[in-house]
Homo-oligomer: A and B are copies of this chain.
């Protein structure tokens, strides 16, 4: 079994462990109503906000701008997306924008996440390897009860996934070889980048991450070390 020597499971979080789309839509609903976007669909707003995520990180990865934490990128992207929904960002108090930006700190886990993480934690180190910043991950974990052993990821590495440094620095901080670390993710491209760095890979299917009409990442697109339907199936597969 390929995962026999794995000592740590590190996790993509947005989409893999928690439901970002449902959580952001929930938090955006009263905001959109209050600021006049009464006919906007909150899930479409979540999608539009999220769609700015990869391009914003790309500017950091390319070196076009220095590393800033994800909360900063989310806040900039929020200003960018509001006009698309007929809202003038200058007409919204800064405090209301800050508050909505915290939606990403208040996402709910998928129903199987906590039970699976608890099982995996008994004999392995578990930590996020997320692009989310440390405080975001801490707030999310405390609210939702995610039992992380440490908060790792982009802010520790000072670079975003899928840059190889994000994966390699995480293994290094854990004092493990890349082969002793397994990335768990619902996204084939994240797993491909991790595998290129030597990490083990576990795919978890999250076919509703992007709603009922999801067309990407519906299934494993490579021979990842484990392919599981949810976090409990992953725990089963590694004997946890």
Contact = CB atoms under 8 A, between A and B. Distances in A.
Q: Choose among A141, A155, A175 the residue with the greatest number of B CB atoms under 10 Å from its CB.
A: A175
Nearest to A156: B156
A87 interface: no
B155 A134 contact: no
A174 B134 contact: yes
A95 B83 CA distance: 62
B149 A141 contact: yes
Q: Choose among A141, A149, A150 the residue with the greatest number of B CB atoms under 10 Å from its CB.
A: A150
A75 to B, nearest CB: 12
Contacts of A173: 134-135, 155
A117 interface: no
Nearest to A71: B175
Contacts of A227: none
Interface string A154-175: 0110000000000000000111
Nearest to A127: B138
A95 to B, nearest CB: 16
Contact of A125 (B71, B138, B156): B138
Given A141-B149, A149-B141, A151-B150, A174 B135 contact: yes
Interface of A: 71, 125, 133-135, 137-138, 141-142, 148-152, 155-156, 173-175
